[in-house]
Chain A
């Protein structure tokens, strides 16, 4: 018995040296940094890095060497992070940085892009519109780069579950191992599956409180979403960059008895705040005998200015949200009028 346990642990230690220790990082907060943690290194408002605390790394010749990270504030010996407190200042050779707890929001801005991703302003609205809370069962497709997934998991854990689907095998498996190493693997099931063709599978049939779609042909997945939703109904949200996708999706939703169908768009604007001093010309003291363009100045004025950015994302995608009423109150129009199920 003891032996068996021991071998198991050794196996894990051998192959995944960090799983045991960093297991909680996206799930709960901890005080001090340990080997294997995933953390966000904050260098400046525009410079953030996600790093995994590995003291050692392999160099290009395959030899094991000390892990040293080059940042805009100078070199960081990763080993030196261990034992430091989260939120504390890390001195670097040319400045300093802060070691921050990983959050879905920081992950979204630092993650490696394997696809287009959804950003926090839309993500917030999606969580809100799907009415997610701890305990909810939620379905997502496609998984993509997992930007949204991390936020979905945070909203429904510990008692809820995310089922996320992608028909791209590599993306599905990378996402799966990211969830594991971020300590949230228990709250999510990643499936490699074409949801337009094959739906969401029997495991989630009539189980979901909410379904989220980020697919090129979301309308093809909508009938499957109906099958996946609880008899008591639920919420659906589809994210599409193009209006044509929205139109076809809305048509399908109406046909299948969804109500409260609504399409909306959210954009964020971040202001540049700066304290400025403005010079003030003195035009009161001009008199007839002056000659020459001698500027006379009053005391400068201090103001705080607040400017919208020169350029910003003017479009991300349309969010189409809808409610599926409980089974007993559903009126699918397709069946009423005998129009095509398409």
Chain B
């Protein structure tokens, strides 16, 4: 049935969607059996969710045969309530007032892990199992009521997995992506992502340019989500295809798809200069796989796999040329810059990408490219853009210089970077640009709270940085 608009969210029945325990799972490409990542990837039969309303919650049940093979069982609200010992039985247990009598010698639970798992596999309900756990706990009745509840919630989570299918939204997708691997989205945290749309003054009917590399389409998805049918988003990228991970996850409507025009930066700039093949820039054509169309695209993927180490170094070196940017473009997709250990997942990322390349890589692909490039160039040459956003792994200077002339006066631009240093470079450069005003370099700080009566405090863990933004306004000073 193709792509499915589901985001699967795991949580205990009590807190069905605990957003901040790292348990969101996106399911973008829907296949009958899908690996979903809870604490680790688990193969789960997902076919059951087809045709069911979103927000339905399922209990994950181990299949009789395979050890780590799960199927889903739909839960009604009644099931959830009776499953949940914390929900159905609050405060009905005897409790201590403090922890003076609790000695943790590691033997407070008399049942072994194995015995507990067996109970579960015998099909006992969570209520029954947790009940057994309490019976076999030496310390439970001495715990304070608060820590009893905490204990129960923990056990519930440990032995019972629930998933809830949700409609994907930018908020859920951004949170999932950040939690799963913030390296893959350049540490673009939700608060920073939210600032981008306001900083660029995103109107539903506006015409915006976004240059994205290395954040899986997240910034584009968030902008596109804010456009109505009249709006246009020109997604500029430096490879064969833009990174669309987040855009695909958003399950775009046809209207939204029509708002999106993706174009390779070299093709766009060449087209706008109207000098196909005669500019000095075209020296980079040889290393730009796009130009050659489909035949060479697979080859170039291979090449990039091999050259990725090198390309990264080039990308980081200050005197980089346009060619080097091209080389790194696909590398960026796989996060060589951040990754130091995760070779395997990197590899699979690459495979996926070239597969998707093959999917639509028929002969008509080439013309589609040209059509999109023409569309983008036509749109931007007839009237300048209402805003520009850069979220990229490359040094932003050259890209900003190339794209800023496409932005109309009195419109804003925003540059995101995970590091402050490239934005400092940019800041000093822009200070000399007479046609840019109101340049600001900011970051935001984000803190979550646990709010419970008498136990309210900031969460113990927080993220150190959500990245940096440089913002400014394009004006027409009359000077060049």
Residues of A within 8 A of B (CB): 27-29, 42, 45, 85-89, 98-101, 103-105, 120-121, 123-125, 127-129, 131, 133-135, 151, 154-155, 157-159, 233, 243, 246-247, 250-251, 259-271, 273, 275, 304, 306, 318, 320, 323, 325-326, 328-329, 331, 333, 336-337
Q: How far, in Å, is B261 (CB) from chain A's closest CB?
A: 18
Chain B contacts for A28, CB-based, 8 A? 203, 205
- Inter-chain contact B478/A273, CB cutoff 8 Å: no
**Beta-carbon contacts under 8 Å, B4-24 to A:** 15-20
Chain A contacts for B412, CB-based, 8 A? 103
Secondary structure dominating the interface of B: mixed
- Inter-chain contact B449/A270, CB cutoff 8 Å: no
In this assembly, does B41 line the interface, its C-beta being within 8 Å of a C-beta of chain A?
Answer: no
- Contact A273/B427 with A128-B190, A265-B449 known, Cβ cut-off 8 Å: yes
In this assembly, does B198 line the interface, its C-beta being within 8 Å of a C-beta of chain A?
Answer: yes
Q: How far, in Å, is B229 (CB) from chain A's closest CB?
A: 9
- Contact A124/B475 with A246-B449, A260-B19, A262-B19 known, Cβ cut-off 8 Å: no
- Contact A120/B447 with A29-B386, A129-B171 known, Cβ cut-off 8 Å: no
Complex alpha-carbon distance, A79 and B440, angstroms: 31
- Inter-chain contact A269/B444, CB cutoff 8 Å: yes
Q: How far, in Å, is A131 (CB) from chain B's closest CB?
A: 5
Chain A contacts for B446, CB-based, 8 A? 264-266
Q: How far, in Å, is A269 (CB) from chain B's closest CB?
A: 6
- Inter-chain contact B55/A325, CB cutoff 8 Å: yes
Scan B457-473; emit 1 where CB is below 8 A from any A CB, else 0: 00000000000000001
Complex alpha-carbon distance, A253 and B191, angstroms: 23
Chain A contacts for B386, CB-based, 8 A? 29
In this assembly, does B235 line the interface, its C-beta being within 8 Å of a C-beta of chain A?
Answer: no
- Inter-chain contact B448/A273, CB cutoff 8 Å: no
Complex alpha-carbon distance, A157 and B425, angstroms: 37
Complex alpha-carbon distance, A98 and B441, angstroms: 20
- Inter-chain contact B204/A265, CB cutoff 8 Å: no
- Inter-chain contact B411/A87, CB cutoff 8 Å: yes
- Inter-chain contact A157/B197, CB cutoff 8 Å: no
- Contact A326/B410 with A155-B226, A247-B456 known, Cβ cut-off 8 Å: no
Complex alpha-carbon distance, A299 and B445, angstroms: 39
Closest-by-CB residue of B relative to A132 is: B226
- Contact A121/B195 with A265-B449, A267-B445 known, Cβ cut-off 8 Å: yes
Chain B contacts for A320, CB-based, 8 A? 451
* Residue of B16, B386, B410, B444 with most partner-chain A CB within 10 A: B410
- Inter-chain contact B408/A87, CB cutoff 8 Å: yes
Chain A contacts for B204, CB-based, 8 A? 134, 154, 157-158
Select which of B171, B409, B444, B452 is within 8 A of A266 by beta carbon: B444
- Inter-chain contact A103/B201, CB cutoff 8 Å: yes
Complex alpha-carbon distance, A275 and B90, angstroms: 61
Scan B224-259; emit 1 where CB is below 8 A from any A CB, else 0: 011110000000000000000000000000000000
Q: How far, in Å, is A11 (CB) from chain B's closest CB?
A: 30
- Contact A88/B409 with A98-B475, A265-B446, A331-B77 known, Cβ cut-off 8 Å: yes
Chain B contacts for A251, CB-based, 8 A? 453
In this assembly, does B132 line the interface, its C-beta being within 8 Å of a C-beta of chain A?
Answer: no
Chain A contacts for B451, CB-based, 8 A? 243, 246-247, 250, 261, 263, 320
Scan B196-209; emit 1 where CB is below 8 A from any A CB, else 0: 01110111111000
- Inter-chain contact B437/A154, CB cutoff 8 Å: no
- Inter-chain contact B442/A268, CB cutoff 8 Å: yes
- Inter-chain contact B428/A273, CB cutoff 8 Å: yes
Residues of B within 8 A of A (CB): 15-20, 53-57, 77, 80-81, 87, 90, 169-171, 190-191, 193-195, 197-199, 201-206, 225-228, 386, 408-412, 420, 424-425, 427-428, 437-449, 451-453, 456, 473-478
Complex alpha-carbon distance, A104 and B448, angstroms: 27
Complex alpha-carbon distance, A267 and B81, angstroms: 39
Complex alpha-carbon distance, A232 and B449, angstroms: 28
* Residue of A88, A131, A329 with most partner-chain B CB within 10 A: A329
- Inter-chain contact A128/B194, CB cutoff 8 Å: yes
Chain B contacts for A101, CB-based, 8 A? 410-411
Chain B contacts for A98, CB-based, 8 A? 410, 437, 473, 475
Chain B contacts for A159, CB-based, 8 A? 228
Chain A contacts for B437, CB-based, 8 A? 42, 45, 98
- Inter-chain contact A260/B228, CB cutoff 8 Å: no
- Contact A270/B440 with A127-B194, A155-B226, A246-B449 known, Cβ cut-off 8 Å: yes
Chain A contacts for B195, CB-based, 8 A? 120-121, 124, 268
- Inter-chain contact A336/B81, CB cutoff 8 Å: yes
Select which of B53, B226, B448 is within 8 A of A328 by beta carbon: B53
- Contact A331/B80 with A131-B169, A158-B204, A264-B446 known, Cβ cut-off 8 Å: yes
Chain B contacts for A318, CB-based, 8 A? 449
Chain B contacts for A261, CB-based, 8 A? 451
Chain B contacts for A27, CB-based, 8 A? 203
A–B Cβ pairs within 8 angstroms, 5 of them: A27-B203, A85-B409, A128-B190, A265-B449, A269-B444
Closest-by-CB residue of B relative to A306 is: B424
Chain B contacts for A263, CB-based, 8 A? 448-449, 451
Complex alpha-carbon distance, A123 and B199, angstroms: 11
Complex alpha-carbon distance, A161 and B311, angstroms: 49
